[in-house]
Structure 1
Amino acid sequence: MSTSARPSLRRVRGEERSLAEALRRLSPYLEGIRWRWGAGLASAMLAGLVALAIPQVIQQLVNSVLRPGGDASDVWTAVAIMTVLGVAEGALVYLRRVFILPPAAGVENRARVALFRRLQRLPVSFHDSWPSGQLLSRSVGDLSLLRRWIAFGTVMFVVSIVTIVVGLVLLFATSWVLALIYLAGAVPIMWRSFHFRNDFRAASRLSQDQAGDLATTVEESVHGIRVLKAFGRGGEALEGFRGQADTLRGTEVHKAAVLSKFISLIVALPETVIGLSLGVGIYLVATGDLTVGAVAGFFATTAVLAGPVESVGQLMGMSLSAKTAIDRHAEVMDTPVDIADPVAPRTGGATGIPGALAFRGVRFRYPDVPEGAEPLLRDITLDLRPGETMALVGLTGSGKSTLVQLVPRLYDVTAGQVLVGGRDVREYELVELRRRVSIAFEDSTLFSDSIRNNVLLGAPEQVLADPAAAQELLDLALDTAQAQFARRLPEGLDTEIGEEGLSLSGGQRQRIALARAIAARPEVLVLDDPLSALDVRTEEAVTRRLRSVLAGTTTLIVAHRPSTVALADRVAVLQDGRILDVGTHAELLARSADYRFIISSFEADRSIESVMDSGGITAMTGTEGDRA
């Protein structure tokens, strides 16, 4: 289960962006919040300036009280002024949060929705090559970091820099000698910040990528928990996870060490120069070149500057992590959508008879296969008549599942055409094409929702708008798929089936998935061996019911059983990426040795079929259940 044993994520990195370029990538999500961010920044800057005003009051107070004939009432005046300044600073900090936090959450939300929308549009080939944990970490962890940076990091980084600059001006106004000493500590910090930026950026990127890999492992282990338990491999899975977690911990420790070294430098140097400034300040007071109040004001100002100076390192680290998050977000958003609506989709009905399905000289090579490699499918030419049921048979690896996925454009042909209703599928808008074509897979994917919502997922909108019509369609789909068991669940059709429907058996999941495809009321129904977990009699009942209910629907079914093949109108034989022969089951048995060999490879299914026909399974188990 460890990802260390498999190739790392194929990352599609663009050119390294500067922080300013990364910020420009956020522009689509910043609409309507700039003025609020500006107001929050203004509030934060005013709060910083108010904090710097307090040392100036202290300076005047000390000089006033200590001067000959000083008035004690000045103390109360100074206390009142500092109280007002303190209240004002607190109010400004409150306003900063009021102005900044809601729009920052809005940016996170818009970016997350945009990412999810992009993931829905990206082709299946993208999802084949990207681990789901990486996408999860980008949609949750990275965008949460981005929100915190917008709400806190950006504002406080600007405020810290402005506070330091204004503070230095005040220090120079108080004593240029002491200010130069204090400023001398900044030179090593500036020199070190260049190396820190590069080191921390690399560590941050590695950490976020490793966190994504770790999320993938967790997801795989949770989804495969039954397999791990059944084979007693929980310990091995734990060791693999521990190795990944230790690697991530090491990266995080390294990242923390890089940051802590930089922070220690920007804390230690100012503190050291403050100590040196104190000695020089006392000397200047003794020589009469500086007042006691000036010294007090100088060190009160450095105390105010201590926070911004110390936070610069953390804020810089946060900014670099946010830049990495933006880059990772942009990697997904910049991935081209190879399967999209045509620029000028054709409107109106199909040019041929509705339900007609044809393949014309189709060649297909998976996108990640080198250009010179032999295509998986070669020169496929095949015609299905409207309303016809055609079985597609072939040995494992012949390309059957790949061929049927070309119909709803889950993949696009490398060459040739797939025609639905006489029109190239690439001329349809995707929504329109997938309204006409419905597909059910062998690996039945259900959602953490009710049976009702899972089945009606692809139902026509006009039907869903009418509760009575929706219920009628739901009942028809469940009855056709022999999924009456759903009504006997604890809450009937409103039963929540849990994540991916794992609370159901394999046969139950397949029948719900088939009902979902039926409820879409398509012109073309594509079945990628969706009945493999059913016993032969249930499969036969489902198939006969399909032919009755969807009499006008063209059906292309990937078959692995003689029983399925025998029920089809015609059979197409796929071998080595080519259509070898097409005919009825009887015709092919009579003339094709290759077909007879393929059928003979279904011997196990044929044995099961004979046992079922003789009532053997019923006698042994007392039930005709699913093969889970």
Structure 2
Amino acid sequence: MLQALFPKKPGTEPLAEAIRACRAHLLFAFGFSALVNVLYLAPTLYMMQVYDRVVPTGGIMTLLFVTVVVVFALGTLAALDHIRSRILVRAGLRLDRLLAGTVLNRVIGSRESGTKVAQAMRDFDTFRQGLSGQGALALCDLPWTPVYLLVCFMLHWTLGMLTLVGGILLFILAVLNERSSKPRIEAATQASAKAYMAQETIAGQSEVVRALGMRQAMITRQLKERDAAVTAQSEAQFIGGRYTGAIKFLRLVLQSLALGAGAWLAVEGQISAGAIIAASVLLSRAVQPIEQVVGAWNGIVQARAAWANLTELFASTADQDRPRTLLPKPAGLLTLDGVGVRAPAREQPLLRHVSFTLQPGESLGIIGPSGAGKTTLARLIAGATEPDAGKVRLDQADYATWNPERLALHIGYLPQDSILFAGTIKENISRFEGMIDTPSEDVDARAIQAAKAAGCHEMILKLPQGYDTPLGPGGRGLSAGQSQRVALARALYRDPCLVVLDEPNSHLDAEGEVALASAIKALKTRGATVILIAHRTGVLQTVDKLLVLRDGSIEGLGPRDEIAARLQAGRQPAPRVVSSVN
């Protein structure tokens, strides 16, 4: 059972290691299950003693003695059953401590998108809960069914055969239930994940939905997606309920037949009167784990599917755990060599054969019409995504050879929509560095230094709580211009040698524009390499070079004045290129 949980795909070693770390818990639970199932024989033996010894002889002392013994046995059974349940819960907690951070790291570090990646933590919780739920207990009890079958044969071969045939029929029903319910449960899980993702997206953009009068339309759409998920879940439950009912009916019939067969054998003198009741109890206990497994089958299948999804996620992100040499701090030499990026749903690539080099301290402005690939190129240079072809290098080292976290320390990135997170302004500027045991004094000093470099120190001090002003999700609590200035400070945190600014002045007022120009000038002065994408041309007056993108390809690249002269000469209509927003 344990071996089946160990993934064998490359990159899934952390999953196998976590399961091995919980192996002691699972083995102890399995061992306690053996004791529990042996003690379940106590009521059967008690009944046999009462009917075979106490009733015929009137032995009250014998009755008292066997009653004390059976009460002690049942008390021990209850205690062991409680202990094994706690052990499985502890196994789930240990698994959470070992894997939760790793799963989150793989999700955030994954370059892929989709439902399976988005619901990875939900899959992990599903598996963890399945490991400590009723399904796990039923699976622990299932291997002891042959023990009860053997005891039935010891009473009489007829009772043993009745139990064996009944167990086979129940097993067949369980297999049919698995084949019928598995695809429906998987479909229900995927539909539910899709519905939840859509719901979270709508809730996060509720202001826009209300402002555009889309509330009823989005509710209708969400209800349709939810209906698909609920329908799929209901179908799975209907199928499971059908088989559960059939199994319960068969078990009750078998118990009754066991009583009848026991009575017939007792009349024939082949078994004692006590064995009549014992036969029914033993048969019931023998088939009960099968019934419990079928009853918990939906949860078992969901846990198994969740584990398979985690295995796929870890296999697809195996490169994250690859050991990398600790490279020295780069100077800022940026090289793109034949870079290409494909779009999953488009035949036309987003970028193709993009090549250029920037020396440390040089600045480059990127312009082009909407959809030219400017933001994709910015994300590529910032390390937010990977190329499908070609290489991006920093100081001649391919991005893929860098530890991603260490590489990010040397790159400052201001995305087009700022993207701040729930937390204080200081935490956002410092990239939440204080959460990883960095001394708070160092974090405070660097955050203030970055804010001063971005020209927003005084703006922050005027806020109600200054740098400790809390922000809601998405930076709620600041205006768009304030958010952009804070995001600029975050990009400048720790003095990166490469800074990528995508539409850095799209929400700025005149004061913000002045601060931005000053920050760019300071970056060039200290020798940082700067990439600028802007639709308002004022900020591009300071760059050394201009790159013109069209349909994902470089249409022009050279000194700023030379490219600007070409644009003005009409070789490329200036308004169309310069005023666009990617």
Decide: shared fold, TM above 0.5.
yes
Mapped pair 1:588 → 2:564: yes
Corresponding residue to 2:171 among 190, 212, 218: 190
Kindly provide the CA deviation profile for residues 352-396 of structure 1, in whole angstroms up to 9, marking residues without a partner as x: xx2333444x331326378xx564434444343432333221111
Asked if 1:556 is matched to 2:531, the reply is yes
Q: Is the 8 A contact 2:378 2:500 kept in 1?
A: yes
Q: Give 1:96's aligned residue.
A: 84
1:266 deviates by: 1.8
- The aligned runs of 1:198-217 (5 Å cut-off) are 198-217=179-198
Q: Following the alignment from structure 1 to structure 2, what is the Cα–Cα distance between the partners of residues 463 and 216? A: 33
User: What is the 5 A alignment of 1:146-295?
Assistant: 146-153=127-134, 155-295=136-276
User: Offset at 1:136?
Assistant: 4.5
On the 8 A contact 2:505/2:534 being kept in 1, the answer is no
Q: C-alpha distance in 2, partners of 1:559/1:102? A: 54
Alignment of 1:452-531 (within 5 A): 452-457=426-431, 465=439, 467=441, 470-483=443-456, 484-531=458-505
Distance in 2 of aligned mates of 1:286 and 1:461: 77
Give the C-alpha shift of residue 473 in structure 1.
3.3
Letter of the aligned partner of 1:386 in structure 2? P
How many angstroms does 1:263 deviate by? 1.5
Answer yes or no: is the 8 Å Cα contact 1:55–1:300 preserved in 2.
Answer: yes
Distance 2:16 2:92 in 1: 13
Counterparts of 1:604 and 1:239 in 2: how far apart (Å)? Answer: 35
Note the residue ranges of structure 1 that are not aligned, 5 or more in a row: 1-17, 606-628
Q: Which moved more, 1:198-207 or 1:224-233?
A: 198-207
Per the alignment, residue 9 of structure 1 pairs with: none
CA shift in 2, pair 1:113/1:595, >3 Å: farther
* 2:517 pairs with one of 529, 534, 543: 543
Residue deviations 1:516-574, cap 9 Å, x none?
Answer: 01123111211111221113552233212431365222211012112122233443333
**Rounded Cα–Cα distance in structure 2 between residues aligned with 1:417 and 1:409:** 12
AA at the equivalent of 2:449: L
- State how far apart, in whole Å, the 2-side matches of 1:298 and 1:206 are: 42
1:236, distance to aligned residue in structure 2 (A)? 1.3
Q: Write the deviation string for residues 276-303 of structure 1: whole angstroms up to 9, x where unpaired.
A: 3333333333343332212132233345
Compared CA separation, residues 586 and 284, structure 1 to 2 (3 A) = closer
CA distance in 2, matches of 1:50, 1:341: 47
Structure 1 CA distance, aligned partners of 2:436 and 2:175? 61
C-alpha distance in 2 between matches for 1:146 and 1:379: 44
Residue 176 of structure 1 deviates from its aligned partner by 2.5
Distance 2:81 2:32 in 1: 7
Q: Once structures 1 and 2 are overlaid, which stretch shifts more, 227-236 or 258-267? A: 258-267
- Structure 2 Cα separation of the partners of residues 201 and 575 of structure 1: 49
Task: Give how far 1:143 is off.
Answer: 2.2
- How big is the alpha-carbon RMSD for the aligned residues of Structure 1 and Structure 2? 3.2
The question of 1:298 aligning with 2:279 is answered yes
Q: Residues 587-620 of structure 1: CA distance to partner in whole angstroms, max 9, x if unpaired? A: 7236753576234665699xxxxxxxxxxxxxxx
User: Which stretch has the larger CA shift, 587-596 or 231-240?
Assistant: 587-596
- Equivalent residue for 1:60, pick from 30, 35, 49: 49
The CA deviation at 1:146 is: 1.6
SS in 2 for 1:406: helix
| Secondary structure of residue in 2 paired with 1:439 | strand
Q: 1:385 to 1:540 in 2, by over 3 A?
A: farther
Instruction: Note closer, same or farther for the CA distance 1:584–1:136 as it changes in structure 2 (3 Å cut).
Output: closer
Q: Give me the whole-angstrom Cα distance separating, in 1, the residues matched to 2:141 and 2:433.
A: 56
Q: Secondary structure at the match of 1:43?
A: helix
Q: Tell me which of 568, 573, 576 is aligned to 1:597.
A: 573
Amino acid in structure 2 at the alignment position of 1:558 = I
In the alignment, the residues of structure 2 paired with residue 316 and residue 422 of structure 1 have an alpha-carbon distance, to the nearest angstrom, of: 55
Following superposition, the deviation at residue 344 of structure 1 comes to 6.6
CA shift at 1:182, angstroms?
4.0
Distance 2:49 2:213 in 1: 77
Q: Which one of 321, 325, 342 corresponds to residue 366 of structure 1?
A: 342
Distance 1:167 1:442, change over 3 A: same
Inter-partner Cα distance in structure 2 for 1:434 and 1:28: 29
Residue equivalent to 1:122: 110
Which residue does 2:36 correspond to in 1? 47
User: Hey, what's the Cα distance between the residues in 1 that align with 2:235 and 2:296?
Assistant: 18
Aligned-pair CA distance for 1:66: 2.8
Q: Which amino acid in the other structure matches residue 206 of structure 1?
A: A
- Counterparts of 1:442-453 in structure 2, within 5 Å, are 442-453=416-427
Q: Distance between the aligned counterparts of 2:271 and 2:580, measured in 1? A: 100
CA distance in 2, matches of 1:110, 1:460: 22
Q: Distance in 2 between matches of 1:24 and 1:417?
A: 32
Q: Residue type matched to 2:32 in 1?
A: S
- 1:441 corresponds to: 415
Aligned residue number for residue 326 of structure 1: 307
Structure 1, residues 116-160: CA drift from partner, whole Å, max 9, x if none? Answer: 12123322xx13xx14xx4453312x2223223322456523443
In structure 2, do the counterparts of structure 1 residues 459 and 595 end up closer, same or farther at CA, with 3 Å as the change threshold? farther
Q: Give the CA deviation at 1:424.
A: 4.5
- Tell me if structure 1 keeps the 8 A contact 2:177–2:294: no
1:27-38 correspondence runs (5 A): 27-38=16-27
CA contact (8 A) 2:170 2:290 kept: no
| 1:184 to partner: Cα distance | 3.1
Distance 1:58 1:159, change over 3 A: farther
Amino acid across the alignment from 1:62: Y
Unaligned runs of 5+ in 2: 9-14
1:67-100 Cα offsets, whole Å, 9 max, x none, are: 2x44222211121111111111122112213433
What is the alpha-carbon distance in structure 1 between the residues aligned to residue 5 and residue 213 of structure 2?
47
SS class of match (2:565): helix
Q: Does 1:138 align with 2:127?
A: no
Q: Normalised by the size of structure 1, how large is the TM-score?
A: 0.82
Contact 1:267 / 1:309 at 8 angstroms: preserved in 2?
no
Aligned partner of residue 557 in structure 1, secondary structure:
strand
- TM-score by structure 2 length? 0.88
Paired position in structure 2 for 1:618:
none
Tell me if the contact between 1:138 and 1:328 (Cα under 8 Å) persists in the aligned partners.
yes
Q: Counterparts of 1:481 and 1:204 in 2: how far apart (Å)?
A: 52
How far off is 1:425 after superposition? 4.1
Quote the sequence identity (%).
20
In structure 1, distance between residues paired with 2:154 and 2:417 = 75
Rounded to whole Å, the distance in 2 between the matches of 1:273 and 1:417 is 69
CA contact (8 A) 1:22 1:327 kept: no
| Residues 386, 342 of structure 1: alpha-carbon distance in 2 compared, 3 angstrom cutoff | farther
Which residue of the partner structure matches residue 357 of structure 1? Answer: 334
- Comparing 411-420 with 253-262, greater Cα deviation is found at 411-420
Contact 1:19–1:323 (CA under 8 A) maintained in structure 2: no
Distance 1:595 1:397 in 2: 20
The answer (yes or no) to whether the contact 1:391–1:564 under 8 Å persists in 2 is no
AA paired with 1:521? D
Structure 2 CA distance for aligned equivalents of residues 388 and 456 of structure 1 = 26
